[in-house]
Amino acid sequence: MLDPQARALINLMVERKVPPVHTLAAPEARAMYRDRRTFTQPEAPAVAEVRELTADGTIPLRLYRPASGVLPLLVYFHGGGWTIGDLDTHDVVCRQLANASGCAVLSVDYRLAPEHVFPAAVDDCIATTRYARREAAALGIDASRIAVGGDSAGGNLAAVVAIAERDAGTALAFQLLIYPGIDARCGAPSHTRNGQGYLLTADSIAYYRGNYVPDASQWTDWRASPLLAADLHKLPPALVLTAGYDPLRDEGLQYADALSEAGNRVQYICFERQIHGFITMGRVIDEANTAVALCASVLRSALKPAGA
């Protein structure tokens, strides 16, 4: 059964004739996403410190520190189909995660498509993660306790960064993958089962993929489809969170299973009654707040100091 609160939100959007994202040019879609967030997101909680930064002189960042001292870090990549979203659209969830986990959170404003196609976002996210490690002392970060995470497209980018960092010999401590897009071929059964009627539709997925990876020959590149990476061994522990009415649900489960089969420590949770994108909707969907609290609890445990 679809969560009644999620159903009420979908019905309200239909009643108010909110245009489907795939019918809009990217700048219009971005503006609508920014404006709409105030209706579904909770009030932004206060955080001890918030700093605006730039990685390598080009990538805007926002650092949230819930306390003083040397802290573990979550490098967070926002969702939005690699096309929409920014530091402000995910400001609330980053604040929530920082406060509840006790970790610093570094939110990344990576380049967006279609102006910047694949692999520009990948390059920015890898560069930012390496910046955070390199500048750990200045940021008050424990370089041995850095995690990556994100929702939707951001979950895809976090999974890719985790593989890239392992290959570079600088393994991360954890990966938080919230309803991630893991296979650009989009062939899992949930793409058909949940492809209409639940906010993220088959048409919008095609729109996002067409913006980000317009060359179909690149859909099987592991940086677009981490499920297809040749080697998934020795990756950081993971929490993979999915939603039951999400077109991406099955590929998230497939990735959790693939990580487990490769010998990695993985926790998998599906919020069976939820829709894609719900975790930022805590003003109108109660289970969003439960999901954020769960993510924060797992982060706190995964990034605690050795021996603690």
- Nearest of 127, 283, 111, 117 to residue 210 by alpha carbon: 117
158 and 175 in contact (C-beta within 8 Å)?
Answer: yes
Q: Which residues does the annotation mark as catalytic?
A: 152, 246, 276
Torsion of CA 229, 196, 35, 32, to 10 degrees: 80
> Is 256 within 8 Å of 268 (Cβ atoms)?
yes
- Rg over alpha carbons for the chain, rounded to the nearest Å, is 18
Distances, alpha carbon 79 to alpha carbons 16, 203, 231, 263, 296, in Å: 24, 17, 25, 28, 18
Strands, E, within 152-286: which ranges? 174-178, 238-243, 266-271
**How many CB atoms lie under 10 A from the CB of residue 215?**
10
Closest by alpha carbon to 221, among 117, 298, 124? 117
Going by DSSP bridges, is the β-strand pair 266-271/174-178 parallel, antiparallel, or unpaired? Answer: unpaired
Residues present in the chain in total: 308
